[in-house]
Structure 1
Amino acid sequence: MTTHHSSAKASEADGLKTLSPALQAELKALEADFTVDGPKLKHISQRFEEELREGLEKNGCNIPMNVTWTLGFPTGDETGEFLAMDLGGTNLRVCWIELKGRDGETVVTQEKYPLAPQIKTGDADALWSLLAESLEHFIDANHLRREDGEALPLGFTFSYPATQEYVDHGVLQTWTKGFDIKGVEGEDAAAQLTEAMKKRNLPVRLVALINDTTGAMIASAYNDPETIIGAIFGTGCNAAYMEHVKAIPKLKTDLPGDTPMAINCEYGAFDNAHRVLPRTKFDERIDRDSPRPGEQSFEKMSAGLYLGELYRLIMCELHDKSLVFKGQNITALRKPYILDTAFLSALEDDTFRTVRTWFEAKLNLCLNEEEFHLSRRLSEMIALRGARLCICGVAAICRMKGIQSGHVAADGSVANKHPQFKARWAQAMGEILDWPSDRKEDPIVITSAEDGSGVGAAVIAAMTLKRVEEGNMAGIRQPR
């Protein structure tokens, strides 16, 4: 395995030597811009820790550190049947989930409903009507109405920054993921959904509103007690972890200080002031052309949505300097966001023949060997920087909490589909946390997150109902 990898590296280095002097000079400058060394990583992570602490102390900070009212990790004994609904970036997913405890097998029945583009830029009524209608369709198709008319408990995954005063409440702070629906920002999404369900007379009670990152952590901990953090490395980037109530100065509560509370960091907006992140002109361009310039700075440098876009912008610039795709029409390549993380992974891992076919099919471009070697190096350089930056937030949480070992349950396309991501992530983690170079194994490892938006929502709903049963109503609204 090692031999194959090193020989591939050697042939890659030989390929780069064949680049024209002009391209070699461009590549050298780009490599300098995109390299984030160990000391720089530590510096970023230290600043990250400062911003995490600021978010725990007061509201209105870069990183909001949203309290979730999910109190503690699951025991693994949670059981029952629950509806779960996840409002994602492209689909609405509705599930019926049967929890049978850590030793049993969780059963998930689900249906996806596409979100039409006009919904994402429409108004609140259209959004919540669609959700209630889809929920009704799912309940009827799966014969879930109870004979006694008892309400079905629902865990609603709303993966947008929300302020929660209760576990079944969430005021949307700002839309992300390209959504811009009027009449929801500054409003309680849980109340708006409840109202839409009432209009259709649905036998459903919203028990908990959760974020997918918190859900990933809780669903993973349900099956794996070594889970310490839930993280998303996909279209966006985020993490959730457990914090003691006494370490959250902004939270006014009568709960004992050692009560664990899940915190949804929402740290895509880290360093919006651009104090430490090593932004290139391409990062600045992505920010400038985005729907919300000046927001989500960290996310725009490290998340999957933007990695292919960085490569595209670099190649367009090199074409404009007459260094690549000479004499070819690059109209398709000029289209923003035409390339995703899967394309970048293929560039790094596939053969010249396969990649050339991809370029012809997707971009109508004829790729020569020089452009292939250049593209492979660029994709590696962009993905490597993304992975190394991604780790800064998780490392900052570990340092702040004194976490020495455990599992980081990671979800998202970059974590699970980019073949080199986990190795690069671990390498950077070791550099920041000073792990010994001769270690036999990593003390903190990435695991694949369980289904946070489905199973996680159901487990949190089960935990919440258990608290109601025990008379612990902290962070739970009285039934309306």
Structure 2
Amino acid sequence: MGKAQWLSVALGCVAAVMCTVATTLVARQAVARSRWSRAVAVVRGFEEDCATPTERLQRIVNSLSVEMFAGLASEGTSMVRMLLTCVDALPDGSEEGIYYSVDLGGTSFRVMKLELGSGSMVINKKVEHRPIPEDLTKGTSEDLFNLIALALKNFIQREGGGDEGRALGFTFSFPVRQVSISSGSLIRWTKEFSIEEAVGKDVAQCLNEALVRNGLNLHVTALVNNAVGTLAMGHYYDEDTVAAVIIGAGNNASYIERNAAIAKCRGLLTDSDLTVVNVEWGSFRSPQIPLTPYDICSSEAERNHYDQAFEKVISGVYLGEIARLVFQRMAQESDLFGSSVNCLSTPFIFSTPSLAAIREDDSPDLRVVGRVLEEHLKIQDVPLKTRRLVVRICDIVTRRAARLAAAGIVAVLQKIGRDGTLCGTTFVRKIRGEPKRSVVAIEGGLYQGYSIFREYLNEAVDEILGDEIASTVSLRVMEEGSGIGAALLAASYSSTRQNSV
């Protein structure tokens, strides 16, 4: 074979190889584009499923308000419990003296000392946070309440205060059926707790017995839910406070109701015209609530997939988990996160604070997003376009949660006639003279510490109410409202005064 022929063959081989390489590259690019498209499709589908247009929010408001009416009519007829709290006298600023409180609501608890002066003046406040070992959340009630009583005893000793005759407020953030301001039986546990033998017990009595065992001369004067405590603190500073909402690890509301509107359990009502109601709206369900397969999967290990459905799409315990499940689905549909995706299969490894850090990253290269993915999910070297998709998912989860929480707030305002409508109809009430001012007290890290969540919620409240009525509604943050409010209620009910709400 001549030189020219060899050269021709060589060039042919090179051309063939290049053609093969080019074909392979084109095929790989096509596969990559296909995988990226599938990942984007997952996000788009999730976004569509989570949509909360104003009209839908208004229907949720109306539906929840109807459930609230039903819950006040009789037991077991509504998805919201509408628990009567026996609180008919809220703090008015005239309370004085030293009071203590215990605030139990999650994997930690707080003990507090509050010194009050007249004129809504907190002279001094001391607070200690204590973790609850995981085994005690599933152990015995005696062990749990002994832990709390001992912590309170040590706290009082360190503060150099006496316990003689001191009134104690007890914030217990689980559903309780109250028979008096200072007693109530546990209906069920929520969150991480599962001490079955405690169900049906008087939780105030459990704490009182633990206090005696630990040598403390204290007793529970006021047993309250965290939303009720927050309402008490709000009313202490502003008498126009009509409701309170918890938006943190959990989610709930309380408000001031007319006794004439409460048909059930009239034997619990006092001579006052008003009673504080603990809504317990976490169990609210409605076809209008935008649920997705990721929300259902997040509770597969629990007894009822739809149990606490409203709470699970709003509260901080679950938002990070919802995002993780979407990430996991994206990883299954594509190679978006490469091969280092083992952590995506670990439930609750991605927290809501991590989700918030990602959503609030405004750096050009989204460096915080990259760092969070690497530190918490062990996913490294994530491309910028993938980081943007991750931010979008966190935004979808945040926006839906905030707007649903806003719908809950407006539903409470509708129930007490402060939303500008007549029984939820589109007929706008004509306001004569100066419109009533409505203050809603809010506690919880999700609202207080996550600025974008707060912006979305405030925006949705304005959308639903309209400018005229929204201008009469004020959402006011109450730092440590549940614990302070319990101490304030202990002050109110330990005195001989009988205040009206």
Structure 1 residue aligned with 2:209, among 195, 220, 231? 195
Q: Map 1:235-314 onto structure 2 (within 5 A).
A: 235-253=249-267, 259-271=273-285, 274-290=286-302, 293-314=305-326
User: Who is 1:420 aligned against?
Assistant: 452
Q: Judging changes above 3 Å, is the alpha-carbon distance between structure 1 residues 447 and 332 closer, same or farther for their aligned structure 2 residues?
A: same
In 2, Cα distance between the equivalents of 1:363 and 1:471?
55
Per-residue Cα deviation, 1:396-419 (whole angstroms, up to 9, x for no partner)? 111121115422211112101111
1:56 is aligned, of 39, 47, 72, to: 72
How far 1:95 moved relative to its partner?
1.3
In structure 2, relative to structure 1, the CA distance for the partners of 1:87 and 1:398 (3 Å cut) is: same
- Larger mean CA deviation between 258-267 and 377-386 belongs to 258-267
Superposed CA RMSD in Å reads 2.3
Counterparts of 2:296 and 2:178 in 1: how far apart (Å)?
33
Unaligned runs of 5+ in 2: 1-32, 420-436
**Aligned counterpart in structure 1 of residue 359 of structure 2, from 337, 348, 366:** 348
Distance 1:471 1:230 in 2: 22
Matched residues, number: 445
CA displacement at 1:228 relative to structure 2: 2.2
Kindly indicate whether the alpha-carbon contact (under 8 Å) linking 1:219 and 1:451 is maintained by their aligned counterparts in 2: no
The Cα of 1:282 is off from its aligned counterpart by 0.8
The equivalent of 1:453 in structure 2 is 482
Equivalent AA in structure 1 for residue 107 of structure 2: T
Q: Distance in 2 between matches of 1:313 and 1:194?
A: 43
Contact conserved, 2:136 with 2:144, CA < 8 A, in 1?
A: yes
Partner of 2:18: none
1:433 match: 465
Deviates more, 1:42-51 or 1:73-82: 73-82
Deviation readout 1:39-85 (Å, 9 max, x if unpaired): 11111111101111111111234211111111143221111111111
1:331 counterpart residue number: 342
* 1:78 corresponding residue in structure 2: 95
TM-superposed deviation, 1:201: 3.2
**1:37 equivalent in alignment to 2:49:** no
- Residues 113-124 of structure 1 mapped to structure 2, 5 A cutoff: 113-124=130-141
Partner amino acid for 1:185?
Answer: V
Distance in 1 between residues matched to 2:374 and 2:119, nearest whole Å? 49
Q: Does 1:401 align with 2:433?
A: no
Q: Structure 1 254/154 Cα, relative in aligned 2: closer, same or farther at 3 Å?
A: closer
Match of 2:154 among 137, 146, 153: 137
The answer to whether the Cα contact below 8 Å between 1:246 and 1:258 also exists between their aligned partners in 2 is no
Q: Aligned with 2:254: secondary structure?
A: strand
Q: Tell me whether 1:68 sits opposite 2:72 in the alignment.
A: no
Distance 1:402 1:37 in 2: 23
1: CA distance, partners of 2:279 / 2:490: 21
State the distance in 2 between where 1:124 and 1:254 align: 27
Contact conserved, 1:315 with 1:324, CA < 8 A, in 2? Answer: no
CA shift in 2, pair 1:318/1:57, >3 Å? same
| Whole-Å separation in 2 of the counterparts to 1:375 and 1:25 | 13
Residues 68, 264 of structure 1: 8 Å contact kept = yes
SS at match of 2:86: strand
Separation in structure 1 between the aligned mates of residue 401 and residue 195 of structure 2, nearest angstrom: 30
Q: Which amino acid aligns with 1:259?
A: D
Task: Supply the distance in 2 between the matched residues of 1:463 and 1:211 (Cα, whole angstroms).
Answer: 16
1:14 paired residue number: none
- Return the offset for 1:258: 6.3
Which whole-Å CA distance do the structure 2 matches of 1:305 and 1:189 have between them? 24
Q: How many angstroms does 1:388 deviate by?
A: 0.7
| Distance across 2 between alignment mates of 1:294 and 1:35 | 19
Letter of the 1:428 counterpart: A
| Cα distance between partner residues in 2 of 1:359 and 1:95 | 37
Distance of 2:70 and 2:95 partners within structure 1: 34
Give the structure-2-normalised TM-score.
Answer: 0.84
Rg comparison, structure with higher value: 2
| Greater mean deviation of Cα atoms: 450-459 or 228-237 | 450-459
What's the TM-score once normalised by structure 1's chain length?
Answer: 0.87
Alpha-carbon distance, 1:358 to partner: 1.8
Is the 2:90–2:489 Cα contact (8 Å) retained in structure 1? no
Residue 112, structure 1, aligned to residue 129, structure 2: yes
What does residue 91 of structure 1 align with?
108
Q: Identical aligned pairs, as a percentage?
A: 30
Compared CA separation, residues 151 and 103, structure 1 to 2 (3 A): closer
CA contact (8 A) 1:55 1:64 kept: yes
Gaps (5+ residues) in structure 1?
1-16, 475-480
- Residues in 2 aligned to 1:91 and 1:455: alpha-carbon distance in whole angstroms: 16
